[in-house]
Amino acid sequence: MARRRRRKSRGKKLFLAVLALCLAAVYPLQEQLAENSADSGRTENAAAEDISAAASGVFQDGSTLEVHFLDVGQGDATLIRCGDDAMLIDAGNNSWGDDVRDYLEYQGIDDLDYVIGTHPDADHIGGLDVVMEAFDCGTVIMPDYEKDTQTYEEVIDVMNQKGLELTLPQVGTVYELGEAAFTIVAPCRDYGDNANDYSVGILLEHGENRFLFTGDAEEESETDMLNSGIDLSADVFKAAHHGSRTANTEAFLERVNPDYVVISCGEGNSYGHPHAEVLNRLREMGVQVFRTDEEGTITAVSDGSSITFNVPPSETWKAGEPSGS
């Protein structure tokens, strides 16, 4: 399958979060590359290599965990690193495949120990084919749910071309990632035609710190997770379904009881994500909220006992406004 051509006209919104932490400031990746290129007269790729080299090893001494919540507009993509190990959860929509691949390259990623496609909606797996073409991949985890779309077929085609086997998620299974580990917490059963509830959910643990990811899992799946007997409490929760009211129920949020919530959504998206009901619940709970539509790529770093972010939490509490377009 021919690789999609790199988009040159649209400015990339992904942020180089590690560099931002070092500089105590946040710059769009493409703007930083452009500045370095202009200053030195070098090419964009050469400037990118300089940035990547400067940032590499700042946190990765083997004892820290990095979680990069990538800004891919109205979609999901999360890079997780611990020591020399790395995993990717989703890769945004089809048009974001090149950006996610480039971001991983800038971060010095050589291969991915795990790739998780939470469910076959395009805003989650659209860019996975480009990423899997570019990197050696270890364990590929996706749910036992197929979708009759070109996007899904492209992902399967690349897996077949590279001889990658599909691993189905089994609740309770534990995988190691450097000094961290993650447990599969969803999906718990068959959900008929509801693709969202098939979302692969994982609980990531690093020392005393815990991160919960549930894709687009909605109320039925959340209820099953609550009844599974697994301790779902987490310091950081990536809001389900981009902060939609169809997920993030009061009972689920109370059980998770997060200190921080990260919402991945696109600025001015037509769905009105994040919904006011969810934001109100989080505000009442005293949760600190981080949003990719307001702050770009968000990076959380765990040392096993504390978690730091590259940007301050949002203070707007502004809900989306559905346009229906």
- Is residue 320 one of the residues assigned to a domain? no
Question: Using CA atoms, how far apart are residues 218 and 196, in angstroms rounded to an integer?
Answer: 6
Residue-level pLDDT at 50: 35
- Is residue 117 one of the residues assigned to a domain? yes
- Is residue 322 one of the residues assigned to a domain? no
Task: Please give, one letter per residue, the 3-state secondary structure of 187-250.
Answer: CCCCCCCCCHHHCCEEEEEECCEEEEECCCCCHHHHHHHHCCCCCCCCCEEECHHHHCCCCCCH
**Containing domain of residue 101, as a range?**
17-29+37-309
Question: Using CA atoms, how far apart are residues 190 and 167, in angstroms rounded to an integer?
Answer: 17
Residue-level pLDDT at 61: 56
Mean pLDDT, to the nearest integer, of 47-65?
A: 48
Residue carrying structure tokens 């999360």: 78
Percent of the chain having pLDDT more than 70?
A: 80
Which band of pLDDT confidence, cut at 50, 70 and 90, is reported for residue 81?
Answer: very high
Mean pLDDT, to the nearest integer, of 292-308?
A: 97
- Is residue 316 one of the residues assigned to a domain? no
**Residue 221: pLDDT over 80:** yes
Which band of pLDDT confidence, cut at 50, 70 and 90, is reported for residue 62?
Answer: low
Q: What is the CATH number of the domain that holds 68?
A: 3.60.15.10
- Give the strands of the sheet with 209-213, arranged side by side: 174-177, 180-186, 201-206, 209-213, 236-238, 260-263, 288-291
Output the pTM of the full model.
0.84
Residue-level pLDDT at 63: 80
- Is residue 208 one of the residues assigned to a domain? yes
Which band of pLDDT confidence, cut at 50, 70 and 90, is reported for residue 52?
Answer: very low
- Is residue 323 one of the residues assigned to a domain? no
Of 183, 252, 182, give the one whose Cα is nearest residue 217: 252
Contacts of 178 (CB under 8 A, 6+ apart): 62, 65, 81, 82, 83, 84, 85
Burial (CB count <10 Å: 0-12, 13-18, 19+), residue 113: buried
- In order, the DSSP letters of 232-297 are ---SEEE-GGGG-TTSS-HHHHHHH--SEEEE---TT-TT-PSPHHHHHHHHHHT-EEEEHHHHSS
Residue-level pLDDT at 24: 32
**Residue 183: DSSP 8-state:** E
Question: Using CA atoms, how far apart are residues 222 and 256, in angstroms rounded to an integer?
Answer: 11
Question: For the chain, how many structural domains are there in total?
Answer: 1
- Is residue 143 one of the residues assigned to a domain? yes
- Is residue 230 one of the residues assigned to a domain? yes
